Structure 1
Amino acid sequence: MLGCVIHDAGDLRVAELPVPVPGPREALVAVRYGGICGSDLHYWRHGGVGDFRLREPMVLGHEVVGTVVSYGAGATGPAPGTAVAVHPATPCGRCPECADGRTGVCRDTRYLGSAARFPHVQGGFAARVAVPAEQLRELPDGLGLRRAALAEPLAVAVHAVRRAGDVTGRHVLVTGAGPIGCLVVAAAKAAGAARVTVTDLLPEALRYAAVAGADTLVRADDPDDAGWPDEADAAVEASGGAAGLDTCLRHVRRGGVVVQLGMLPPGRSPFAGNLLVSREIELRGSFRFGAEFDDALHLLAARGEFDGLISRVVPVREAAAAFELAADRNRSCKVLLEF
């Protein structure tokens, strides 16, 4: 079978891989679509994500959907042939965070296509993937595989919005209109936000934010743009840049909440810390998700605007071109590989 394997920065290979055999309590899934994530692009461009560095070849991909093929010993789940999404995380279930219900920050989790631990957890960008059967989620009625491929990044966005607190009737600022930022827009609107303002440097990215439901679009490099909010109630930093965090801190109201969702560069990042003090702003991190994966699937089934965020579907044999496209925010939002 074909799979996408990253060996080092800039060294992505479409290779013939052995078809896995599901082990005890595992399911074998025929992957149909895999979404190229920002973290996949970081592994491809830089050989790592934040502080997680490649130490061995790794199959990329954690945004995967497909159909059930078979089960290993002791495993049960949706019948073979059923369309499913794969929850990419396997929390340990034993650490203090898991005991507290915060499985998204489990200290010993296994996450598809992640170099956070060694040996790395191989990902789902392959024609067949064996995963714990408990990670399968049958798609809700009316949800097709193509749109369901957005479930993982949408779950990230839903979790980030919840980290901001109750946004019902509130004004939310989002910095960064990449795929995650656009999904934060949709998640905030679905959670009842009255107004969502989005900033980005690129007009094409802002166009996708409008598709997601943004009310106000702001060019981040134009301080005179009339759309800049005086005081948003909450802000989600989705660009992964220190400048975006600075923007959030300066445009959220006194006593407001800023959620850092974008993965910042490795090492220390400067930020306007005095504003946290003088304005009593709450700065919260947001990392992955837990049960929000199931909520994301139902949200995708209920709303059709998400289709407009999928820029292109590319055959796996053309993965190199797909990664180039996904990395060019002037030409794309979410790019899917088809297996």
Structure 2
Amino acid sequence: MASHTSQVEALVLYGAKDLRTEARSLSPPKPDELQVAIHSTGLCGSDLHYYHHNRNGDILVREPLTLGHESSGIVTAVGSSVSNFKPGDRVALEVGIPCEQCLRCKEGRYNICKDMRFRSSAKSFPHFQGTLQERINHPAKWCHKLPEGTSMELGALLEPLGVAIHGFRRSLMKPGMTVLVFGAGAVGLLAAAVAKVKGAKTVVIADIDAGRVDFAVENGFAHKGFTVPMKRGKDTDENLAIAKETASSIGEVSDRESQAVGEVDVVFECTGVPACVQAGIYATKPGGRVMLIGMGVPVQTLALSAAALREVDLVGVFRYANTYPEGIEIVSKQGSGYPDFSKLVTHRYVGLDNAVEAFEMAGKTKDGKGKLVLKVVITTEHA
């Protein structure tokens, strides 16, 4: 085990679009910690909000902050009380540290612990620094061994996959049900994939970007696709009418038996866009569920009576709890019709010095060559 403080390079946000690489002192791991050399870090929507605006919604950055929380790495040192890890182990990092004492933690719902400290989030203060640095110390309890054959990039994808798995669990979806996913970004694609591998009869994915919809269907993330027309009304009544029209059009999509899919059992709403939440309510059959995964505008106009009168449940989804073991199992499988999760990583950048370019690319839908941008990963130079 390392016995002295060392210096590591860290990427630090000082303000909107003000990223700096600087040296940071790192002590040896505590008895219950691992020291992990970060290998792969995927960039997330929250990272981009902090990068572009120095805030994420109402959460302001109040001190220099290292971003990054979708990460995998290699164990370089082991705390004195840790017996189930050794240097060289490849791990995925679960970066939310709950209090483990409150009622929700004791119920296993630690994702909604009020005292959760989450790396790269400015919600808690002092901020819990993120993973875009050479090495970090992290509790061994929240590190998950990657099996042989599971790439480091897939290890980094386990974090957003956790959101999809958690959403699936809360949806109460059963095999044979029909599913609609709004949003074909990384989380939407993962939500569709989880529903598909869990036995949904038909998974329809909807997005305004036809390229993303085609990607989802061609690469096995969804069975069917629907490109949402860009229409906006002049007032609430017109917007609700458009949402109802969108839901009706989606219902005409053919299922896997060449019949109209009709109203669906479960909607995974991964955009946060009011028009999609509205359409999701109208698209759900009586007794179905709309899973609110996308972080949208805080105040929305929704057709609540259309939900209440048909007992359509609107269910919140926030992060994840106890998902990494199942996530590892899902990404480790292969087979006909099974999604190739590695294809989600569309752009790679090596070294913290190229992070600005990576963040700029992650904010686009297509690169300069017209290729889709889905998940951008930064690999540290030591890797």
Above 0.5 in TM-score?
yes
Counterpart of 2:12 in structure 1 is: 5
Q: Quick one: distance in 1 between partners of 2:215 and 2:135?
A: 32
Q: Quick one: distance in 1 between partners of 2:27 and 2:226?
A: 47
How big is the alpha-carbon RMSD for the aligned residues of Structure 1 and Structure 2? 1.8
Are the structure 2 counterparts of residues 7 and 167 from structure 1 closer, same or farther at C-alpha, using a change threshold of 3 Å? farther
Higher relative contact order (CA 8 A, sep 6+): 1
Counterpart of 1:314 in structure 2 is: 349
1:115 partnered with 2:146: no
Counterpart of 1:199 in structure 2 is: 206
Are the structure 2 counterparts of residues 312 and 283 from structure 1 closer, same or farther at C-alpha, using a change threshold of 3 Å? same
Counterpart of 2:323 in structure 1 is: 292
Three-state SS of the structure 1 residue aligned to 2:25 is coil
Are the structure 2 counterparts of residues 151 and 238 from structure 1 closer, same or farther at C-alpha, using a change threshold of 3 Å? same
Q: Quick one: distance in 2 between partners of 1:44 and 1:120?
A: 15
Aligned to 1:279, which of 310, 316, 319? 310
Q: Quick one: distance in 2 between partners of 1:274 and 1:11?
A: 46
Are the structure 2 counterparts of residues 323 and 105 from structure 1 closer, same or farther at C-alpha, using a change threshold of 3 Å? same
Counterpart of 1:245 in structure 2 is: 277
Give 1:136 deviation, angstroms: 1.3
Three-state SS of the structure 2 residue aligned to 1:58 is coil
Give 1:309 deviation, angstroms: 1.0
Q: Quick one: distance in 2 between partners of 1:171 and 1:94?
A: 38
Q: Quick one: distance in 2 between partners of 1:241 and 1:18?
A: 42
Counterpart of 1:32 in structure 2 is: 39
Aligned to 2:133, which of 126, 129, 132? 126
Q: Quick one: distance in 2 between partners of 1:235 and 1:97?
A: 26
1:103 partnered with 2:110: yes
Counterpart of 1:44 in structure 2 is: 51
1:329 partnered with 2:365: yes
Give 1:212 deviation, angstroms: 4.3
Aligned to 1:227, which of 247, 253, 258? 253
Are the structure 2 counterparts of residues 57 and 100 from structure 1 closer, same or farther at C-alpha, using a change threshold of 3 Å? same
**Does the 8 A contact of 2:144 with 2:324 survive in 1?**
no
**Does the 8 A contact of 1:161 with 1:188 survive in 2?**
yes
Are the structure 2 counterparts of residues 231 and 310 from structure 1 closer, same or farther at C-alpha, using a change threshold of 3 Å? same
Give the partner amino acid of 2:22: A
**Does the 8 A contact of 1:32 with 1:66 survive in 2?**
yes
Give the partner amino acid of 1:305: D
What are the ranges of 5 or more consecutive residues in structure 2 without an aligned counterpart?
A: 1-7, 231-245, 255-260, 367-371
Three-state SS of the structure 1 residue aligned to 2:147 is coil
What are the ranges of 5 or more consecutive residues in structure 1 without an aligned counterpart?
A: none
Counterpart of 1:185 in structure 2 is: 192
Aligned to 1:213, which of 184, 197, 221? 221
Bigger radius of gyration, 1 or 2? 2
Give 1:156 deviation, angstroms: 0.8
Q: Percent identity?
A: 33
Give 1:152 deviation, angstroms: 0.6
Counterpart of 1:148 in structure 2 is: 155
**Does the 8 A contact of 2:40 with 2:152 survive in 1?**
yes
Give the partner amino acid of 1:88: V
Deviations 1:142-178 (A, max 9, x none): 2121222211111111111111103311111110111
TM-score, normalisation: structure 2: 0.84
Aligned to 1:270, which of 301, 307, 313? 301
